[in-house]
Amino acid sequence: MTTPRDTDDLASALLDVRTREQHRELVTADPERPIAPTEQPGRDAAEGHQQFVPGGVTGAAAGTLTLLCGGDATAIEAQRPLLEAVGANVVHLGPLGAGLVGKVANNLIIGVGRLAIGEAFAMAKQAGVPLDRLYHTLRTCTADSWMLRSLEGAILRGEYPSGTFLGLKDLTAAVESGRSVHQAMPVTSLARELYQLIDAKLGGLHGSNEVLRYYLEP
């Protein structure tokens, strides 16, 4: 497993396995990859599939990764035992490129959501609402989410574990992917600019959750 240079060392993994003339890739989103799914006609010599993998290092260590697959359905099913050895959930989303659509959508929601949570708690802090009380209350409301829970340490204890900052890469991939299919991405574009601004203001982010430091610390 190696990290591809063409994603500026921000991709979490690239697995290249060749067996029975089939080629499979496990990769993270790359801003320069085309997003539009394609049936890839005329590829009888080697069948290509891609599996995009949300979940990062934590999910890999826990064995809970979801593999978002694009490519020939029959070929993917034939390789399911191998794929299930890597991830807990193996999902075929459609033709080659569909896995990237799913990965980009996942990263977009997480990236924009992180900023929304930061703004919400910054507003509460300015209004004098105890952040711990608000956090535990929101855990019982419709605003509860995996994203909110993952930010507990940042919100309540100022904890920002060091890690690779993926926010700019992920949202750049989302904006470029939307452009490639003629879909306007105004919210995602603004979120990307905010990440770039915060990264510059803090002198370089050392993990995506450190965005909360911009909102909550003087």
Domain of 38, CATH number, reads 3.40.50
Most confident of the following: 74-88, 93-107, 123-137: 123-137
> What is the chain's mean pLDDT, rounded?
79
Do 47 and 31 fall within a single domain? Answer: yes
Last residue of a domain, one of 64, 95, 126: 95
Number of Cβ within 10 Å of residue 193's Cβ equals 13
Domain of 167, CATH number, reads 1.10.1040.10
Last residue of a domain, one of 95, 121, 136: 95
pLDDT given at position 162: 86
Do 111 and 163 fall within a single domain? Answer: yes
CA 192 to chain CA mean position, Å? 13
Q: pLDDT band at 61, cuts 50/70/90?
A: low
pLDDT given at position 55: 59
Do 80 and 159 fall within a single domain? Answer: no
Provide the domain limits for residue 74: 5-95
> Among all chains, which residue has been given the structure tokens 């989410």?
145
Work out the average pLDDT over 167-191. Answer: 94
Work out the average pLDDT over 27-53. Answer: 49
Full-prediction pTM beyond 0.85? no
Q: Which residues of 53-72 are buried (b: 16+ CB within 10 A; e: fewer)?
A: bbbbeebbeeeebbbbbbbb
Number of domains forming the structure of the chain:
2
Last residue of a domain, one of 53, 72, 95: 95
Beta-strand runs (E) in 53-182: 66-71, 89-94
Do 133 and 177 fall within a single domain? Answer: yes
Task: For 83-99, write each residue's pLDDT tens digit.
Answer: 888 888 899 999 988 99
Do 68 and 144 fall within a single domain? Answer: no
Do 122 and 83 fall within a single domain? Answer: no
201 is catalytic: no
Q: pLDDT band at 49, cuts 50/70/90?
A: low
Work out the average pLDDT over 170-176. Answer: 93
